[in-house]
Amino acid sequence: MSLIVQKFGGTSVADAEKIRVAARRAIRAQQEGHQVVMVVSAMGHQTDYLVDLARQITDDPSAREMDMLLSTGEQVSVALMAMAIHSLGAEAVSLTGGQIGIRTDSSHTKARIKSISTDRMKKLLENGKIVIAAGFQGIDEDFNITTLGRGGSDTTAVALAAVLNADACEIYTDVDGVFTTDPRLVAEARKMDRVSHDEILELASLGAGVMHSRSIEFGKKFNVPIHVRNSASFSDEPGTVIGAESESANRAVTGAALTKNEAQITIARVPDHPGTSLAIFSKLAEVNVAVDMIVQNPGADGSADIMFTVLEDDLPKTLAAVKKGAVELGAETVLHDASVSKVSIVGLGMATQTGVADRMFRALADEGINIEAITTSEIKVSVLVNRDQALAALRAVHSEFELDRPPRDRRAYGEVSKVGGKASPLDIVARLQRMEDLAIESVSLDQSQAQMTLFDVPDRPGVSATIFEAIAAENILVDMIVQSIGRDDLADVSFTVPRAEMEHARHILHRLATELGGEVRVEPAVAILSVKGIGIRSHTGVGLRMFKALAETGINVDMVSTSEIRVNVVVEANQGEAGLAALKSAFADVLG
């Protein structure tokens, strides 16, 4: 018999009528022959209301009591949902997180799931009951109630789908699905029929904000396709399936996103030797600041500029922490800019296609938008721009990649609306434990690349476009691109290309240097070390662990770029093997 998990968000259970609509949907699924587990959020804005109530009592509520309070929202909605189902003549039982046996760690208000027991749910399902699970909550070892962080019901739903080996996980919400970009910002945004876990992970943290990131990490780790759809649609209008595959096999770019309120910090002229990144980022970890983009390119004179971004709200904390560290390291100065935004394009296809980044850069140049910094991963290009040009930048890239139009080779729905491949019993046992631990898929070494740098090019619109158009015109596949914030109206642009293309690329750069100004440096033998995995974003400290392992091995980091699913560093070629060994042992406990 097939099993379906249906999750209803706050807006989908906001009042009695909506609860009845959701109840009918679950009953219908049951009548169609499925076992049904519902996961329900608190009604409407109930959680916000509870947070506000706590604030009226104290500025500093205890986290344990906060969880005690917030978990009540979901307890109300599961009970009402059960009553609604009863009144419609079907059988249902509501359960709290604790009653199901969702065990979490004890980090109140942001707890992580450790294990889930399925016995009780299975027994109820076999007896023909609809199981209604309270989202967002669990209990720790001492039976304290915990919550998973705001928006955490998504994570409950996907986690239950994973441990129950569900055939489908449907997320009912108040939007039609996942869009190519935020439709409130770009009217032409289009609902995608499907999108891959990796793409949505990159997009989610980039500001698309569709689902709790941790739920997507679960989906990916346990191969659970997630169907996001509108609870208000009466017909069975399909939404967006988040699965292993992307909507199109050929499209390079599938979505674009904007993170508006970023702040940029540059630590200028740091002596370039092992351990500098570690020193800086461990200071930030101490004060609990999550670092977003990290960009480091090789310096011209043995010193490096390290640039990174944080959310604007974290800027004061960040500066306080970093300034001390920078002085200790002997850096020249710390610069910052609190008026920047990050615009990114994401797509599985860009890993294998040339001429993607340069199109983005050209689209921005055509709008007269200067790129302040660039970082890339295999499936993402992010640029930092001035905040007052951010919206124009997002619109420009959305239209450049024709995201408003469905791809010609769009994969149809029917092919994906079911969970691929059933997990083995052993697999399921593994799923029941250590659910949300960081999982590193691979630590790898790539010695096929050469590093190219163009120092001191003018920092003005169109320069990056010119550089990468020239490279793309010759069909050279660029891997990492890194550009730090320019100083004195000059910027440094670095990237890597296959070693076989190095002379070819050098030639192009020399020509560009005569046209644009600047100086070329080629590092023929570099090694790229990558750590790739699930939870890189939500488990802060992956980058830190990497920097630490490398610093302890005496390895200098030349270039860094980060994303949600991967951290890349470039080191000297002859240190590649030692670096790989150091990273493998540093991540041994979480390497899958």
**Residue of 517, 521, 522 lying closest to 502 (CA atoms):** 522
- Site stretch for Mg ion (CB under 5 A), options 36-44, 121-129, 159-167, 185-193: 36-44
- Site stretch for Mg ion (CB under 5 A), options 41-49, 249-257, 412-420, 435-443: 41-49
The count of residues interacting with ligand ASP (CB under 6 A) is 13
Distance in Å, CB of 64 to ligand ASP, minimum? 17
Distance in Å, CB of 152 to Mg ion, minimum? 8
Rounded CA-CA distance 506/443 in Å is 30
Nearer to Mg ion, 73 or 486 (CB): 73
∠ CA(278), CA(529), CA(526), 5° rounding?
A: 105
Looking at residues 51 to 80 of the shown chain, list those that interact with ligand ASP (rule: CB under 6 A).
73
Nearer to Mg ion, 14 or 450 (CB): 14
Distance in Å, CB of 288 to ligand ASP, minimum? 20
42 scored as a contact of ligand ASP (CB under 6 A): yes
**Residue of 43, 164, 41 lying closest to 100 (CA atoms):** 164
**Residue of 265, 58, 36, 273 lying closest to 161 (CA atoms):** 36
Nearer to Mg ion, 151 or 298 (CB): 151
- Site stretch for Mg ion (CB under 5 A), options 8-16, 252-260, 284-292, 463-471: 8-16
Pick from Mg ion, ligand ASP, none: which does 135 bind, CB < 5 to 8 A by kind? ligand ASP
Q: Please count the residues of the chain.
A: 592
Helix orientation angle between 276-286 and 542-552, rounded to the nearest 10 degrees: 140
Beta strands in 244-372 (DSSP E): 255-271, 294-297, 303-311, 333-346
218 scored as a contact of ligand ASP (CB under 6 A): no
The count of residues interacting with Mg ion (CB under 5 A) is 4
Rounded CA-CA distance 205/210 in Å is 9
Q: How far is CA 246 from CA 198, 216, 219, 239, in A?
A: 9, 14, 14, 14
151 scored as a contact of ligand ASP (CB under 6 A): yes
Query: Using an 8 Å Cβ cutoff, are 280 and 327 in contact?
Result: no
- Site stretch for Mg ion (CB under 5 A), options 9-17, 449-457, 568-576, 579-587: 9-17
Rounded CA-CA distance 233/479 in Å is 43
Give the residue, chosen from 6, 12, 41, 309, that forms a contact with ligand ASP under the rule CB under 6 A: 41
**Residue of 527, 540, 542, 538 lying closest to 591 (CA atoms):** 542
Give the residue, chosen from 98, 138, 152, 238, that forms a contact with ligand ASP under the rule CB under 6 A: 152
Rounded CA-CA distance 111/97 in Å is 12
Distance in Å, CB of 146 to ligand ASP, minimum? 13
Give the residue, chosen from 4, 8, 9, 240, that forms a contact with Mg ion under the rule CB under 5 A: 9
Pick from Mg ion, ligand ASP, none: which does 239 bind, CB < 5 to 8 A by kind? none
Nearer to ligand ASP, 75 or 259 (CB): 75
Pick from Mg ion, ligand ASP, none: which does 486 bind, CB < 5 to 8 A by kind? none
Torsion angle defined by CA atoms of residues 520, 522, 523 and 525, in that order, rounded to the nearest 10 degrees: 170
- Site stretch for Mg ion (CB under 5 A), options 4-12, 55-63, 396-404, 558-566: 4-12
Give the residue, chosen from 10, 44, 97, 207, that forms a contact with ligand ASP under the rule CB under 6 A: 10
Pick from ligand ASP, Mg ion, none: which does 211 bind, CB < 5 to 8 A by kind? none
Query: Using an 8 Å Cβ cutoff, are 396 and 345 in contact?
Result: no
Distance in Å, CB of 404 to Mg ion, minimum? 27
Distance in Å, CB of 175 to Mg ion, minimum? 12
Residue nearest to Mg ion (CB): 9
How many C-beta atoms surround the C-beta of residue 534 within 10 A? 28
How many C-beta atoms surround the C-beta of residue 91 within 10 A? 14
Residue-wise burial string across 373-409, b where 16 or more C-beta atoms lie within 10 A, e elsewhere = bbbbbbbbbbbbbebebbeebbbbbbebbebeebbee
Residue nearest to ligand ASP (CB): 153
Nearer to ligand ASP, 13 or 384 (CB): 13
Largest CA distance in the chain: 80
Give the residue, chosen from 26, 36, 39, 136, that forms a contact with ligand ASP under the rule CB under 6 A: 136
Distance in Å, CB of 155 to ligand ASP, minimum? 8
Query: Using an 8 Å Cβ cutoff, are 576 and 561 in contact?
Result: no
- Site stretch for Mg ion (CB under 5 A), options 1-9, 138-146, 161-169, 391-399: 1-9
Give the residue, chosen from 11, 72, 153, 568, that forms a contact with ligand ASP under the rule CB under 6 A: 153
Q: How far is CA 329 from CA 325, 545, 549, in A?
A: 6, 19, 19
**Residue of 583, 528, 590, 534 lying closest to 202 (CA atoms):** 534
152 scored as a contact of Mg ion (CB under 5 A): no
∠ CA(180), CA(181), CA(186), 5° rounding?
A: 120
Distance in Å, CB of 309 to ligand ASP, minimum? 26
264 scored as a contact of ligand ASP (CB under 6 A): no
Strand partners, 541: none
- Contacting positions for Mg ion (CB under 5 A): 9-10, 41, 151
- Contacting positions for ligand ASP (CB under 6 A): 9-10, 41-42, 47, 73, 135-136, 150-154
